[in-house]
Structures are given as C-alpha cells and as structure tokens.
C-alpha cells in the first residue's frame, strides 16, 4: 500500500517537471523573431531620415496684364439678299427655275404672257396713223386757207381754228407715242432675270397664275461675299477698330474675319453693339448659320501665369501654391501661399497675391507635399515623368 502511494506521487512530480520543460521549450523560439526584427527597423528609420522627395520646381515671373478670350455667337448673313417680283400685274406664262437652283447673273427666271400687250400696242399704232392722217388733212386745209386769205376770201378765224386743230392732233400723237413706250416697257419687263449669281431660296410663283405687283416671285441669296453679324458689349466694341482681324469658328473650322463696320447704336434688348465681319475664305455658307467670334480682351492687372497643376485646395475654398526656399545641401523647404485666380485656360491660370518678384513654385504633383517639408530639385528626366502623370 505504501509502495503504491509513493509511485503515484513520483509520477505526479515527474509530470509537472515535464510540463514546465515543454513550456520553456515552446517559448524560446518565439523570442528569436523579435530579436531579429530590432536591427531591421532601426536600419529602415536610419535610411528614411536621409531620403528627400524630388519636386518639379519652376520659376515664374510677374506680368503686368493678361488677355481674356471671349466667344460671342453671331450669324452668317449674305451681302446680297433680295426678293424678286414683277413690276406690274399679268399672267405667268413660264417658270424656268425652282427652289434650291443655282442661277447666274442675267439668267431668265420666269416670264409673263405678252399677247395682250402686243395687241394693245398694235391698236395704239393704228390710232397714231389715224392722227397722222388728220394732221396731213389739217396741213392741206391750212395751206388753202392761207392762199385764200392773201386774196381776201378767208377770215382770220378760220386760220386760227386750223392752227388750234393742228396742235390738238400733235398732242394726241405724242400721247399715243407715250402709250406705245409704256407698252414696250411692260413687254421688255415681262421677263424676270436674276440680278446677280445666287441660289433660289424660295419660289412662290406658278405657271398660269394671275400675278399681282405686291407679290414676291422669288427669294435670292448670293453665295459669295458672306458676312458675320454679331453683337458685343459696349466695353468690348470700344477696344476694336475697323479693319481688325478676328478669329471666327464656323463648321468646326477656324476662319479669319475682318471688321467691316462697328455699329453706333446700342440694341434695345441685348444692349450690345453690332459688328459686321467679312469672311476672307471662299467656302460654302448658309444664310442665318451660327458662327462663333473669338475676341481677346486685355486686362491691365499685375500677376503671374502658372500651370493649373501648381494649384492646390486651401481653406474656405481658397487656392494655394507651394513656394520653395533654398536651404543647405541643395535642399528646399516648402511654404504654402494663398493666391487668387483671376483667369484660367485649359492648362494655365493667372493669379495674384504674390509679391511682384521672381518666385520658385512646385509646378506639378502638389498633392504629394505638405508645408515645411524638405524636398530636392527634380532632374529633367523626372520632370518629364511627372508631366505624364506618373509617380515620381
């Protein structure tokens, strides 16, 4: 019985010793990684203390003014735009053109039926022959009366009556000749001709129609010498001169337009001044087509031009630029300066808020820097990589 109790105690003690031994054996390998990482972390911190980021630094110089490019919408107008109509009433005999046709100067467009006018002319000619016959009879009678008067067989009253009749006959002949001239004028103008080379924009006359003088027959638009009419503010118009060349965008093409005239009357609705520009290029235009006139307006204000990539957000919606100041060992310290953007294009901005001296600023990648950070000047190769949007 005593032997069993001793044996049991021995195994208990032995189990405890064995458990401690196993625990100590398991804990020893876990300490080795921590001892090995200590020199690695220290080395990394040491290396980072000597590392400085590269920055794309550019020099900006002050400018005393800048130009703003404004775009104004106008329309193309034809220099020759007219409505054709017959001068008198009549019946349309023939129409030779239709809407959209191109016509040359002097081309026949339409004509009247002149049969009735020809008949009227013949009747007037017959009337004139009748008056001429009466005039001949009057001449013979007057000659006889004058011969009898010399012999005392005729009175002065008979002579006066024949003289008055002669004047009446001559007046009737003159009136009928004027009627013939009127008929011939109508016959000659019974044909409607194009006054210039143009395109028929609309036709409102048809064959067999009884035409009235207050009715338009054709609308013609000249295809050459187009102009652009545009309204601009009074301040802009005051800076322009006649003969100045402006850029005109039409059909996604950039053309040159010369100022022909500057209006002197302010439009009552738009409050603008009308400009007339002549297009130098001979292209196909359409009357009433929209055109964009680009005008550069100079603004006298001192400031700086810099890339848009040099701007970063500031507090309360303001803009900042990162200036750099030289320190030891060719290193630079960053400082943030609040500026005001006066004008911006697609890739640059004109700012104010800096002293009017030369400055060095970070031109790109400003989101990677903070004020009081120390950086170094990037090489040209790194600047090219930064300009493509890659990470330095």
The reported pLDDT for the residue numbered 73 is 93
Radius of gyration over alpha carbons of the chain, in Å?
Answer: 51
Task: Give the pLDDT confidence score for residue 325 in this predicted structure.
Answer: 92
- pLDDT bin (cut points 50, 70, 90) of residue 381 is very low
Average pLDDT across the chain, whole number? 82
Distance, CA of 226 to CA of 375 (rounded, Å) = 60
Token digits of residue 230: 């545009």
> Which pLDDT band, with edges at 50, 70 and 90, does 216 fall under?
confident
Average the pLDDT over each of 82-96, 279-293, 323-337 and give the range with the smallest value. 279-293
**pLDDT tens digits, one per residue of 189-215:** 888 999 888 888 888 888 888 888 878
How sure is the predictor about 329, in pLDDT bands with cuts at 50, 70 and 90? confident
Total Cβ atoms within 10 A of residue 104: 9
Percentage of residues of the chain with pLDDT beyond 70: 82
Stretch (H or E) spanning 107: none
Asked if residue 310 lies in contact with residue 321, where contact means CB atoms within 8 angstroms, the answer is yes
pLDDT band at 262 (very low <50, low <70, confident <90, very high): very high
Tokens of 283: 């292209």
| Measured CA distances, 231 to 72, 261, 273, 379 (Å) | 7, 12, 5, 50
Kindly tell me if the per-residue pLDDT of 4 is higher than 60: no
For residues 283 and 2, the model is more confident at: 283
45 DSSP assignment: H
Residue 261, CA atoms < 13 Å, CB-side half-sphere: 8
Between 312 and 155, whose confidence is greater?
A: 312
d(CA 382, CA 306) in angstroms, rounded, equals: 19
Residue 163: predicted pLDDT: 84
Contact 299, 282 (CB under 8 A): no
* Mean pLDDT in residue range 336-341: 93
Whole-number pLDDT of residue 380: 57
Neighbour-count burial of 232, counting CB atoms closer than 10 A to its CB (0-12 exposed, 13-18 middle, 19+ buried): buried
Give the C-alpha separation, 95 to 83, whole Å: 16
- Mean pLDDT value of segment 293-315: 91
Among 86-100, 316-330, 371-385, where is mean pLDDT lowest? 371-385
Tens of pLDDT along 12-49? 655 655 555 555 544 444 444 444 444 444 444 444 45
Please report the pLDDT score of residue 31 as a whole number: 41
158's enclosing H/E stretch is helix 156-188
> 49-96: per-residue pLDDT in tens?
567 889 999 999 999 999 888 899 999 888 778 888 888 888 899 999
When comparing pLDDT for 34 and 98, which is higher?
98
- Give the pLDDT confidence score for residue 34 in this predicted structure: 41
User: Tell me, what's the pLDDT at 327?
Assistant: 87
pLDDT surpasses 80 at 296: yes
């Amino acid at each position: 019985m005593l032997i069993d109790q001793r044996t049991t105690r021995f195994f208990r003690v032995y189990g405890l010793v064995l458990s401690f031994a196993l625990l100590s054996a398991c804990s020893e390998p876990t300490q080795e990684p921590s001892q090995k990482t200590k020199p690695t972390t220290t080395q990394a911190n040491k290396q980072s203390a000597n590392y400085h980021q590269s920055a794309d630094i550019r020099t900006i110089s002050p400018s005393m003014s800048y130009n703003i490019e404004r775009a104004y919408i106008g329309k193309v107008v034809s220099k020759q735009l007219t409505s054709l109509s017959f001068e008198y009433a009549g019946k349309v005999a023939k129409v030779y053109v239709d809407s959209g046709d191109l016509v040359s100067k002097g081309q026949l467009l339409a004509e009247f039926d002149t049969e009735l006018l020809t008949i009227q002319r013949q009747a007037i000619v017959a009337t004139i022959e009748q008056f001429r016959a009466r005039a001949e009879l009057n001449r013979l009678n007057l000659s006889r009366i004058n011969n009898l008067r010399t012999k005392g067989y005729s009175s002065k009253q008979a002579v006066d009556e024949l003289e008055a009749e002669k004047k009446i006959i001559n007046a009737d002949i003159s009136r009928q000749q004027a009627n013939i001239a009127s008929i011939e004028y109508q016959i000659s103008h019974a044909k409607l001709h194009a006054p210039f080379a143009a395109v028929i924009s609309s036709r409102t006359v048809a064959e067999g129609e009884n035409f009235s003088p207050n009715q338009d027959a054709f609308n013609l638009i000249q295809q050459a010498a187009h102009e652009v009419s545009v309204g601009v503010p009074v301040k802009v118009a005051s800076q322009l001169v006649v003969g100045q060349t402006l850029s005109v965008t039409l059909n996604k093409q950039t053309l040159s337009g010369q100022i022909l005239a500057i209006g002197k009357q302010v439009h009552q609705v738009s409050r603008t001044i009308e400009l007339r520009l002549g297009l130098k290029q001979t292209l196909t235009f359409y009357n009433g087509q929209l055109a964009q006139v680009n005008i550069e307006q100079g603004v006298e204000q001192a400031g700086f031009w810099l890339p848009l990539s040099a701007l970063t957000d500031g507090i309360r919606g303001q803009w900042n630029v990162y200036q750099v100041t030289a320190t030891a060992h060719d290193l630079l310290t960053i400082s943030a300066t609040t500026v005001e953007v006066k004008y911006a294009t697609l890739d640059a901005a004109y700012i104010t808020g800096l002293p009017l001296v030369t400055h060095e600023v970070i031109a790109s990648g400003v989101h990677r820097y903070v004020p009081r950070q120390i950086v170094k000047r990037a090489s040209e190769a790194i600047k090219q990589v930064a300009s493509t949007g890659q990470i330095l």
